[in-house]
Amino acid sequence: STPGCVHGFSHEVLFGILPRLCGADACIFPNYGGRFGFTKDECQAICDACWSTSRLAPTTKPCLPSPGGGMTLERIGEMREVFGNDLLLLIGGSLLGHDRDDVANGARYFMKCAGRGDDDQREEKGKEKATAP
């Protein structure tokens, strides 16, 4: 081993490009600020690789980034700011812990945190009806 020399795959290749080359529709990767040691920049590079049409995967369809690993409902807004709106939110224990007695209430809270509350859904349904032939 040569001191200062880096070996292996970069995060964006391992978690972004390789899953796409294998035909994955989504790429799950450890998010920053959770229980793993990934940085925000590393996670952004993975997300970019999921969408990129670079020389590494010019003819490969993009896949949805899905950051996970200790994510909470309270961090949804932050994740949307960093990764954009087109992502899969991998939130398990935090969602289940929100309201163990009423899973539907927990799901509604999740949708609200994701910017998709009941009002948004009603508004979209109203637009669909208005544009229907």
pLDDT tens string, the chain, 133 residues long: the values are 567 667 788 888 899 989 998 999 999 999 998 778 899 999 999 999 998 877 666 778 889 999 988 788 888 888 889 998 888 888 777 776 766 677 788 778 888 888 876 654 545 555 555 555 5
Read off the pTM: 0.73
CA distance 106 to 86: 22
Quick one: pLDDT at residue 40? 93
Q: What is the model's pLDDT at position 133? A: 55
What pLDDT does residue 56 have? 67
CA 62 to chain centre: 13
Q: How far apart are CA 121 and CA 58, in angstroms?
A: 36
- Could you report how far apart the first and last alpha carbons of the chain are, in Å? 68
